[in-house]
Amino acid sequence: MRVGLLTREYPPDVYGGAGVHVEFLARELTSLVDLEVHCWGEGRGVGVVRHRPWSVLDGSNDALRTFSVDLSIAAALEGRELVHSHTWYANLAGHFAKLLYGIPHVVTAHSLEPLRPWKAEQLGGGYALSSWAERSAIEAADAVIAVSGAMRDDILACYPALDPAKVRVVHNGIDTTLYRPNRGTDALTRTGLDPARPYVLFVGRITRQKGVPHLLRAVRDIDPRAQVVLCAGAPDTPEIDREFRELYEELSRAREGVFWIPQMLPRTDVIQLLTHAAVFVCPSVYEPLGIVNLEAMACGTPVVASRVGGIPEVVEDGRTGLLVDVDDDFEQGLARALDAVLGDRDTARRMGEAGRERAVGEFGWDAVARRTAGLYEEILKQA
């Protein structure tokens, strides 16, 4: 099968869960299909074609710049038998290829624009364009892959014109040979952490979706022995960036041992930080699956996370971590859950061990790739 995999993010330019998904999916798919990856960036490598927005649109709305990349990708897909797009940034390229070349289009939905209204802060009127692109591609797709059962429900609720039979669940995966406990401490030393004190770790972008402001307020009054490490960058807008900085400064004045790492760390450093954390926290208010929770679990770390979207399909409440309802008591609930894990080292250890076991047993990328390639074969037989 000659497959085109379409994405905005691809190594070395990966900043979110969708990029991680595509990176590892592509690695496993290369042994199963004739794969060509089309992504944003400069240059071309073996099996990878990079595209950049048209320079005439420099300074224009990001949605228009995205559409220019989609046109470039679509033009380069001639000869592919099937295309598979990830996120609205690439969905329109897949839709154009379907129409232009008469080939099937598979969409993986990592999130949904109707459920992210805060994106209007980032895109302005471009949010209407991103929403249109996503709707057009999903409703016309030959198959839609949902990364969780909860995500499948959301897709069908947002796009009722879509045939439910076209929506398949294929969970995100994790490379448990890469994400595994790393007892090295050089990353902790560079961060300035006190190895004698436990720490709470957050890894994610500074966005409304990831719930970072909630977290900064929640950790203010947790166990004073605990350090707080925020691997947080790539703010969506100047407004959320400013809000984050104000809350971070307020938190730093209120307690000792608060560390902010805004730059993208090497993966080995992130794995070390995950391994040594007393607890990993995911305060998202919207999360189709939350691959970062799998990464923490694979490193043997207990997780405190919000009970939203697909997170309960990954984090088993009471076994691999604790789940917190996103309600009026959300921030206090986060604080209580974090203190519960911090205060019971034996239970935390058992949760970490169970998390590693679950990640290894149920979320391997080889299985994800086989299920995905099987769906390709099924669709091509029907075409």
DSSP string, 136-158: HHHHH-SEEEESSHHHHHHHHHH
Burial environment of residue 162 by CB neighbours within 10 A (0 to 12, 13 to 18, 19 or more): middle
Distance (Å, whole) CA 319 – CA 315 = 8
**Given the structure tokens 């232009």, which residue do they identify?**
100
Q: What's the one-letter identity of residue 164?
A: P
Output the pTM of the full model: 0.79
Query: How crowded is residue 185: how many other Cβ atoms within 10 Å of its Cβ?
Result: 13
Residues of the chain below pLDDT 50: none
The answer to whether residues 273 and 378 belong to one domain is no
Q: Indicate if 238 and 144 belong to the same structural domain.
A: no
- The answer to whether residue 180 is domain-embedded is no
Which residue range is the domain that position 79 belongs to? 2-173+364-382
Q: Is residue 178 part of a domain?
A: no
Backbone angles phi, psi at 167, to 5 degrees: -100, 115
Same domain, 69 and 128: yes
Query: Could you tell me if 19 and 133 lie in one domain?
Result: yes
- CB–CB of 233/263 below 8 Å? yes
How far apart CA 216 and CA 182 sit, in angstroms, is: 27
Q: How far apart are CA 51 and CA 366, in angstroms?
A: 28
**Do 79 and 11 have their domain in common?**
yes
Structural domains counted in the chain? 2
For residues 243 and 149, state if they share a domain.
no
> What is the sign, positive or negative, of the torsion defined by CA atoms of 281, 331, 148, 94?
negative
**Residue 309 backbone class (left: φ over 0; alpha: ψ -120 to 50; beta: rest):** left
- Statement to judge: residues 289 and 306 lie in one domain: yes
Token reading at 73 = 């990708």
> Cis omega (within 30 of 0) on the bond before 114?
no
Residue type, position 340, single letter: A
Backbone angles phi, psi at 351, to 5 degrees: -65, -40
Structure token pair of residue 339: 């203190």
pLDDT of residue 364: 86
User: Are both 195 and 226 inside the same structural domain?
Assistant: yes
Q: Can you point out the beta strands (E) in the chain?
A: 2-6, 34-40, 44-45, 48-51, 82-86, 105-109, 143-146, 167-169, 199-205, 227-233, 258-261, 279-282, 303-306, 321-324
CATH number at residue 325: 3.40.50.2000
- C-alpha 17/C-alpha 180 separation (Å) is 18
Beta bridge pairs of residue 282? 305
65 and 43 in one domain?
yes
Same domain membership, residue 207 and residue 295: yes
* In a domain? residue 179: no
Asked if residue 39 and residue 76 are part of one domain, the reply reads yes
> Which tens digit of pLDDT belongs to each residue from 122-178?
788 999 999 999 999 999 999 999 998 989 999 999 999 999 999 999 988 899 999
- Same domain for 104 and 235, yes or no, is no
Q: What is the rounded CA–CA span in Å between residue 364 and residue 354? A: 16
Domain assignment of residue 181, yes or no: no
Q: Tokens for 76?
A: 């380069």
